[in-house]
Amino acid sequence: MRTLKKTWPFHLMLLPAMIFLIIFSFIPMGGIVMAFQDYKPWLKISGSAWVGLDNFRYLFERNDSMQVIWNTLIIAVLKMIFNLAVPFVFAILLNEIRKVYIQRTIQTLVYLPHFLSWVILGGILLDLLATDGFVNQILGSMGFKPIFFLGDNNWFRFTVILTDVWKEFGYNTIVFLAALAGINPSLYEAAEIDGANRWKQTRFITMPSLLPMVVVVGTLALGNVLNAGFDQIFNLYNPLVYQKGDIIDTFVYRTAILNGEMGFGTAIGLFKSAISMILILVSYSLAKKWAGYRIF
Amino acid sequence: MYYKTRGYRIFNVFNTCFLILLALMCIVPLIHVLAVSFSAKSAADANLVGLWPKQFSLEAYKKTINNPIFLHSIWVSVQRTILGTGLTLLITFLAAYPLSKENSAFKGRNVYSWLFVFSMVFNGGLIPFYIVIQKIGLMDSFWVLVLPGAVNTFLVILMLNFFRGIPKDLEEASLIDGAGHFRTLFSIYLPISLPSIATIALFSMVFHWNSWFDGLLYLNNSKQFPLATFLQTVIIQRDMSSMSINPKEMELISQTTVRAAQIFIGAAPILIVYPFLQKYFVKGMTLGSVKE
C-alpha cells in the first residue's frame, strides 16, 4: 500500500496507453481461437464449430498456401541480404567523399524515398515500369526488348526486391554512417604511417569497425523474415504474378477478407505471428549477446 | 597522404560521379511525375514526357482540384493527421515518463514494459483485429483511422530513452519543491523535451498521412476515404466505383496527367515536412537502434 501511495501517478500515466493496448492488441489476441474454428460470421465465435487443427492441416495441404510461404521466405530473405549489403557498401563509399556539401546533398536525396508511401511510389512505378513506360523506353533505345516488370512471373520478384532496396538503402545507411563517424581517427593515422593505402585501411579498419553494426542490423532483421512487405506487394502485384509474388499477408487478405475464409485466414495469421515471435525473441537475445543491444 | 596518390584521385572522381548518379536515381521518378503532371494530355499519353514538361499545361491540376471527392479526402487526411498525431504525442509522453524510471523507483515498471514488448512482438493477426474493430463499432467511422494506431511502442522507446538522458537532479529538485510527478512532467520535462517531441510528431504525421490500408479495410463508403486510400483505389486499382458515376469524372482517372497530379499532391506534404524531418530522424534512428 505504501508503494502504491507513492507510485499512483505512474500507474495513472500509463493508463491511457494500457487501455489502447488492451483494446487493440490484447483483445484481438483472444480472437486467435478462430484459427481452431470453422468460423461463420453469423454464428460469431461462441457459436461456430470447433474443428481442432483442421485449418492448419488444410494450410499445409493446399498447394497455393505452401507456394505463398515459400514466396514469402524467398522475397524476405533476399530483401534482408540486399538491404544489408547495399547500405554497407554505400556508407563506405559515401564516407570517401571529402566535400561535405556533396556528401550532404547525396544524403538528403537518398533518404527521401523512405518517407513516401508505397501508394505514391506504386503509382509512379506502375507507369514507369509499364511495357511502354519510361524505363522500357530507355532500355529500348539501348536495343533491349521491352520487359513486363510487374506482370511477368520471372521478373516480378526481381522488381520487388530492386524497388525495395531503391526505397530503403539510403535510410538504412544512417546507422552505418553513425558507426563510421565513431571510428577513432588515430587508427587511420597509424595505418598511414605503416604504409597502408586507402583500400587496405578500408579493408582492415573501416570494415571490421562496422561489423558489430552489421551483426545488430542482421540479427534484428531475422525477426522480420515472414514480413516480405505487404504495402509494397499489395500495391504492385496483380493476378498475373500471384504465383511468384503472393506473400502470406496478401494471401490472408485475399482468402479471409475477400473470400470470407475467416478461420483459415486466422490460422495462417497465427502461424505467421507465432513463428515471427519466436524469431524476434531469438534475434533480440542474440543481438544482446553479440552486440550488447537491448530495447527497453 | 593517400588522397594525393594518383590511383586514389581517379577512384575519387569515379566514386563521386557514381554516388551522385545513385542519388539522382532516387528522385528522378518524382521529377518525371512532376513533369507529366504539368504536360498536355496528348504528350503524356504518347509517352513523350521525360524530365521536363511537354506543352506546359495546368489542366491536370484544375481537374484534380475540381473533384469534390478528392478535396474531401484531403480534408479527412488533414483531420486524421492532426488528431492522430496529437493523441499519439499525449499517450507517448505520459507513458514514457514512468517507464523511464529505475526499477527501484517504480516496481511495476517491469510488468508494464513486458506488456509493451509483448504487444510489439506478437499480435492476433488481421482477422481477429478486424472483428474487434467491428465489435466495438468503429467500422465506417472516422475514428477507426485515429484510435488503433495511437500507441506505438517504438515511439515510446524513443521518448523514454530521451527522458533517461535528462539529469536526475532536475526531477529531484522539482519533487523536493513540492511538485508532484504530473507537475514535474509537464512543467520541467515538457519544455526540455521539445526536440524529441518534434521527432515523434513528425514520425507520427508521416505515418498518418501515408496510411491507406485501414481506410480500405474499415471504410465502405469511399466518400469517407482519406487521401492515401483514395489514391490507392484510383491510381493503383484504377477503380471507377470510388469516383461518382458521373462519366465526366470517370474520364478523369484514365488520364495520365491527372494521375500524375494526384500522385504529386499526395506526396507534397511529405516533401514539405521532409527538410524539417531530416534534422531529427537521423538522431531518432541512431537512438532507437544503438544503445549501451
Interface ipTM = 0.89
Closest CA to B64 of B192, B238, B252, B228: B252
Q: Which of residues 101-130 of A touch B (CB under 8 A)?
A: 102, 105-106, 108-113, 115-117, 119-128
Confidence at residue B74, expressed as pLDDT on a 0 to 100 scale: 96
CATH architecture of the domain formed by B62-289: Orthogonal Bundle (1.10)
How many helices (H) does chain B have, and how many strands (E)?
A: 15, 0
- Nearest by CB: B128 against A28, A198, A280: A28
pLDDT band at B289 (very low <50, low <70, confident <90, very high): very low
Lookup result for grid cell 494530355: B41
| Angle separating helix axes B68-99 and B153-164, nearest 10 degrees | 50
Q: In the predicted model, what is the mean pLDDT of chain A? A: 90
Q: Check A18 against B115: CB less than 8 A apart.
A: yes
Q: How far apart are CA B82 and CA A152, in angstroms?
A: 41
- For residue B131, the model assigns a pLDDT of 92
Out of B29, B119, B278, name the one closest to residue A25 (CB).
B119
A93 — contact with chain B (CB < 8 Å)?
A: yes
**pLDDT reading at B258 higher than 80:** yes
In the 3-class helix/strand/coil scheme, how is chain A assigned residue by residue?
A: CHHHHHHHHHHHHHHHHHHHHHHHHHHHHHHHHHHHEECCCCCHHHHCEECCCHHHHHHHHCHHHHHHHHHHHHHHHHHHHHHHHHHHHHHHHHHCCCCHHHHHHHHHHHHHHHHCCHHHHHHHHHHHCCCCCHHHHHHHHCCCCCCCCCCCHHHHHHHHHHHHHHHHHHHHHHHHHHHHHCCCHHHHHHHHHCCCCHHHHHHHHHHHHHHHHHHHHHHHHHCCCCCCCHHHHHHHCCHHHHHHHCCHHHHHHHHHHHCCCHHHHHHHHHHHHHHHHHHHHHHHHHHHHHHCCCCC
The answer on pLDDT for B239 being more than 80 is no
Q: Is pLDDT of A292 > 80?
A: no
Q: Predicted confidence band at B54 (pLDDT cuts at 50, 70, 90)?
A: confident
pLDDT at residue B248 greater than cutoff 60: no
Residue B241 has pLDDT above 60, yes or no: no
| Contact assignment for B22 to A256 by CB distance below 8 Å | no
| pLDDT greater than 70 at residue A212 | yes
pLDDT in tens, A151-208: 889 999 999 999 999 999 999 999 899 899 889 999 999 998 998 888 999 999 999 9
pLDDT of residue B238: 74
CB contact under 8 A, B116 and A21: yes
Nearest by CB to A123, from B122, B160, B231: name it: B231
DSSP state, B240? G
* Euclidean distance between CA atoms A237 and B265, whole angstroms: 24
Confidence of residue A1 (pLDDT cuts 50, 70, 90): low
Q: pLDDT value at position B268?
A: 94
Return the pLDDT at B291. Answer: 42
Residues 19-48 on B with a CB inside 8 Å of A are: 19-20, 22-27, 29-30, 32-33, 36, 47
Contact by Cβ (8 Å): B210, B277: no
Tell me what the mean pLDDT of segment B93-118 comes to: 92
* Model confidence at A220: pLDDT above 90: no
Average pLDDT over residues A15-27: 96
Q: What is the pLDDT of residues B120-140, one digit of tens each?
A: 888 888 999 999 999 999 999
A29, A90, A296 member nearest B113 (Cβ): A296
Q: Give the residue from chain B lying closest to A30, CA to CA.
A: B124
Q: Is B270 in Cβ contact with A97 (below 8 Å)?
A: no
Give mean pLDDT, residues A278-294: 83
Contacts of A126 in chain B (CB under 8 A): 235-236
Q: What is the pLDDT of residue B290?
A: 43
Q: Residue B12: its chain A contacts at CB < 8 A?
A: 96-98
The predicted model gives B213-219 an average pLDDT of 94
Residue A109 identity: L
Domain residues of chain B, as ranges? Answer: 6-46, 62-289
Gyration radius of chain A over CA positions:
24
Q: Which domains does chain A have, with CATH numbers?
A: 87-244 (1.10.3720.10)
Cα nearest neighbour of B146 on chain A: A20
pLDDT (0 to 100) of residue A62:
87
Q: Is the pLDDT of residue A262 over 80?
A: yes
Contacts of B100 in chain A (CB under 8 A): none
For A131-153, what is each residue's pLDDT tens digit?
A: 888 889 889 999 999 899 998 89
- Distance, CA of B164 to CA of A59 (rounded, Å): 46
| pLDDT, mean of residues A237-263 | 91
How far away is chain A from the Cα of B246, in angstroms, using its nearest Cα? 23
Nearest to A286 by CA among A211, A210, A217, A209: A217
Give per-residue pLDDT as tens, B38-51. Answer: 998 888 887 888 88
A21–B3 CB contact, under 8 Å: no
Q: What is the pLDDT of residues A69-120, one digit of tens each?
A: 999 999 999 999 999 999 999 999 999 998 999 999 999 999 999 999 999 9
For residue B149, pLDDT beyond 60: yes
- Burial (Cβ within 10 Å: 0-12, 13-18, ≥19) of residue A237: buried
Query: Please, which residues 147-206 of chain B have a Cβ atom closer than 8 Å to chain A?
Result: 147-148, 150-151, 156-157, 160, 180-182, 185, 206
How confident is the model at residue A196, as a pLDDT?
A: 87
Chain B residues 203-222 with a CB less than 8 Å from chain A:
206, 209-213, 217
Q: Is A155 on the interface with B (CB under 8 A)?
A: no
Whether residues B128 and A119 touch (CB distance < 8 A) is answered with: no
| Least confident range of A45-49, A153-157, B171-175 | A45-49
Task: Give whole-number Cα distances, B283 to A84, B199, B229, B287, in Å.
Answer: 20, 9, 31, 6
In the Cβ-directed half-sphere of A181, how many Cα atoms lie within 13 Å? Answer: 8
**What is the pLDDT confidence band of residue B292, given thresholds at 50, 70 and 90?**
very low
* Residue B83 reports pLDDT greater than 90: yes
Q: Which residue has the higher pLDDT, B287 or A188?
A: A188
B-contacting residues of A 160-189, CB under 8 Å? 166, 170-171, 174-175, 178-179
Instruction: Report the pLDDT value the prediction gives residue A2, as an integer from 0 to 100.
Output: 62
B77-113 core/surface letters (b: 16 or more CB in 10 A; e: else): beebbebbbebbbebbbbbbbbbbbeeeebebbeebb
